[in-house]
Structure 1
Amino acid sequence: MIEPRLKAGIIVQSAIRQASMRGIPATVVRHGDDDAGQVFVVVNRGRDIGFVLLAPSRDYDSGRTVWRRPLGEDPLPEHEVDAHIEKERRIDPDLWVLEIESRDGWHPFEEG
């Protein structure tokens, strides 16, 4: 069974609240459509470590939303992440971008 899709604005608000409760800065870098925009999350691990991009995807077996790393597991320089986001933004102008500053890589979309 496919789980219902939450509105983008609610997903972002929840993520910011979870980060705030841990004392981790979270900033909306790009405000997309409140209802239907896709949400990308940039985990900023510091310029010396790099940035990780997370994007939602549907797990076809369970129907649940999972967060994939479209640019790979390893942190990348900021300009590479920004270039990918810009390419996606041209396809989807309703795209949200949320940046979480977490040196250890924490983000509110981790499984478990």
Structure 2
Amino acid sequence: MPEPRLTARFWVDAYLARLRLYDIPAFVTAHGDDTAGAVLVKLATLDGKATAFTRSFDLMTGARHWAELANGPEPEVDASIAKQRSFDPDLWVIEVEDKHGRHLLGDVGLSD
């Protein structure tokens, strides 16, 4: 029996709460579909650079993980995100701002 999936909105709310526990500022910059929208996380390191992460799914194992979509100067990462949004209007975009590069996506409960 397949494992039940969390709604996008529930995951986003939990992620933002986890970031607040570590005093890491984060903002919803694009509100996607509450139920089935995909989530993209942009990490801005406040030095003009950024990385965008998206969920990846391994068809062989069924495992999910966060993969790097784009990395580099923030305007280039923003352009990549805009391109993704043009393909998927249901996409959530969360912007995390942390000069130390913390995004917590590898933490238990967020990584799977």
Q: TM-score, normalised by structure 1?
A: 0.85
Question: How has the CA–CA distance of structure 1 residues 2 and 78 changed in structure 2, closer, same or farther, with 3 Å as cutoff?
Answer: farther
Q: 2:103 maps to what in 1?
A: 107
Two-structure CA RMSD over aligned residues (Å): 1.8
* Residue-by-residue CA offset, 1:10-29 (whole Å, 9 max, x unaligned): 11111101100001111101
5+ residue gaps, structure 1:
none
TM-score where L is the length of structure 2? 0.85
Question: Which position in structure 2 is the counterpart of 1:16?
Answer: 16
Partner-residue secondary structure (3-state), 1:79: helix
Percent of paired sites with the same residue: 39
Q: In 1, distance between residues paired with 2:60 and 2:103?
A: 24
Instruction: Give the equivalent residue in structure 1 for 2:92.
Output: 96
The reply on whether 1:53 has 2:52 as its aligned counterpart is yes
The answer to whether structure 1 residue 7 and structure 2 residue 3 are counterparts is no
Whichever residue aligns with residue 64 of structure 1, its letter is A
Q: Which runs of 4+ in 1 moved over 3 A?
A: 1-4
Aligned pairs, number: 108
